[in-house]
Structure 1
């Protein structure tokens, strides 16, 4: 029993404790099917199980087992039941006398019996029956192969279609962003007068802080436009980084959210358990935190609670944004990361989380989500405690 080099060898295994009958059966099958199958014999159920297992270990395929019913030890129907459990596609045939019909019925019910033949049988009818069973088996296998190929081709077609749609959306976003970026830059020039206001009242610290907030926000708006432009080109953006406390960055983001009228209707709780110092681009991490907090605001009812937690482990700083909102259904958990997917209708673009993920990947960090419907959602970002880049 040698393993074939290319296509698996196909076998028919015959089982009978009467050696003379077994030799006659194998010779009869060999004469009829030598061109397509190897014929193996076994004188007991245990030997048959060993032969079948050895053939499969060699990479061959046992397409059919023909077993006598009355044998010492394990009976034929018991053998075929074991084989059916291990190899459910195998053809099983029982040879039985009139008194063994109950065993044949048992094998039909529990061993997937393909056919039973009552002794004595007509040799021509026997060979014709075996030939029909093998032809049916090959047809079923070919149908399964074609179905698998069809499934694979359909999956590839779906992926290609999704990629095409995604590319078309990116092209549209790219064109829109170029025009929008130009107009935004033009309109933001008016914010330059904020500096004039600060100069007009140099001693007013509150006005100075308001002006600084305006100027910082202008920078972040321009940075967000650039982020979308890079996204549309499917490019990874590099960031200028500095060492800064994550607590300071989170505080800045949350202070900006105090100007959001919907956020004012929620309770935003800080739980800063540590003060990690990171090498990051503060504006981009502020953008990520604002996006996650705003998502939490939209996911909660008025008077809902949003908790921002900062912890760390041996290698990463961890920031959690936890809400007690309506939660995300399990079937949507994978979709929320896809560009252009949104559950906010006209209020959402479906770009926020994807851009957040890109920003964090640019910092060698990551973002993930846990959610339970009716209980709330937790978005977690992890950032390395030590700078892993060589970018300035």
Structure 2
């Protein structure tokens, strides 16, 4: 019996894998080793990197076996490269959708900053004209509060736009609060009333930026579903060892024939105004956290989106 083995590759960075690689199979003759012995020698990790021929065999059989193994190795390498490219493309889509979400709230944030600056300038003018120290202090307090509000908006926007791949124990209620800061201006714009149903939830192992992206997408969709005003309920709670967060609107609802398709890639009912990626990526984020994004909706009765995520152990 003879074995054919591929030289075991030395570890190297994934970034170098894209370069073409050539391997020269080796042929070794064994007379005193069984297939089980050889398999144990190589180990299960490299079981696809060796094969054998029973004697007697011809030179043509050796060449054919070598070609088969080389072809299998090349197919595996191409598959690994394709998977790497697919993962990179998915990550790029998530980033693009995040930037699109930021773009949707940016105009409103700019309007809110204009209001904040107007308030600061107005109170500063009054403080300069005021001779009473107590009234000056009151004006200064309003100025500081407005500046703090602007700082909070900037901080949350920067945190969301940068993002990281790190997962750590997070406070789900705080993530919801940080997202509400970014869409605060939309409530007045759409004449929507906020119903805050947040409750204390045990920490969950998650990426705060990714969850914030899901929430932002769900809230923006909810505003669009209520062009004439309504109520937007956001909340979080513990349910049997699972953290649940939800976004509920009193809008137009989703037709039953559309409901099964809303999480499909590139599906949209908004025409040119929608990419069809928001809910698909949101579901992908939920699943990457070991959870799931669910929806309940009926025409004229609004929609409720719930994301369930296992709590941190």
Q: Distance in 1 between matches of 2:223 and 2:149?
A: 26
Runs of 4+ aligned structure 1 residues displaced above 6 Å come to: none
Q: Distance in 2 between matches of 1:258 and 1:264?
A: 11
2:156–2:178 contact (8 Å) kept in structure 1 = no
TM-score by length of 1: 0.42
- Asked whether 1:218 is paired with 2:144, we answer no
Deviations 1:106-159 (A, max 9, x none): xxxxxxxxxxxxxxxxxxxxxxxxxxxxxxxxxxxxxxxxxxxxxxxxxxxxxx
Report the CA distance between 1:204 and its aligned residue: 4.5
Structure 1 stretches lacking a partner, 5+ long:
1-166, 185-202, 224-237, 388-392
Report the CA distance between 1:205 and its aligned residue: 6.2
Report the CA distance between 1:353 and its aligned residue: 0.5
Question: What is the match of residue 334 of structure 1?
Answer: 260
1:299–1:326 contact (8 Å) kept in structure 2 = yes
C-alpha spacing 1:265/1:378, structure 2 compared with 1 (3 Å): same
SS of residue in 2 equivalent to 1:259: helix
C-alpha spacing 1:319/1:219, structure 2 compared with 1 (3 Å): closer
Q: Which has the higher Rg, Structure 1 or Structure 2? A: 1
Deviations 1:321-356 (A, max 9, x none): 111111111111121111211111222111101111
Question: What is the match of residue 300 of structure 1?
Answer: 226
C-alpha spacing 1:359/1:350, structure 2 compared with 1 (3 Å): same
Question: What is the match of residue 240 of structure 1?
Answer: 166
Q: Distance in 1 between matches of 2:193 and 2:155?
A: 27
C-alpha spacing 1:249/1:222, structure 2 compared with 1 (3 Å): closer
Question: What is the match of residue 377 of structure 1?
Answer: 303
Question: What is the match of residue 240 of structure 2?
Answer: 314
2:187–2:194 contact (8 Å) kept in structure 1 = no
Question: What is the match of residue 158 of structure 1?
Answer: none
C-alpha spacing 1:294/1:210, structure 2 compared with 1 (3 Å): same
Report the CA distance between 1:262 and its aligned residue: 6.2
Deviations 1:185-233 (A, max 9, x none): xxxxxxxxxxxxxxxxxx946435523532431342344xxxxxxxxxx
Report the CA distance between 1:239 and its aligned residue: 2.7
Question: What is the match of residue 356 of structure 1?
Answer: 282
C-alpha spacing 1:386/1:254, structure 2 compared with 1 (3 Å): same
Report the CA distance between 1:283 and its aligned residue: 1.6
Structure 2 stretches lacking a partner, 5+ long:
1-85, 104-142
Report the CA distance between 1:279 and its aligned residue: 1.9
C-alpha spacing 1:249/1:376, structure 2 compared with 1 (3 Å): same
Report the CA distance between 1:377 and its aligned residue: 0.8
C-alpha spacing 1:316/1:297, structure 2 compared with 1 (3 Å): same
TM-score by length of 2: 0.51
1:262–1:297 contact (8 Å) kept in structure 2 = no
- Asked whether 1:277 is paired with 2:197, we answer no
RMSD (Å) for aligned C-alpha atoms = 3.4
2:169–2:312 contact (8 Å) kept in structure 1 = no
Q: Distance in 2 between matches of 1:375 and 1:302?
A: 14
Report the CA distance between 1:383 and its aligned residue: 1.1
Q: Distance in 1 between matches of 2:181 and 2:254?
A: 27
Report the CA distance between 1:292 and its aligned residue: 0.6
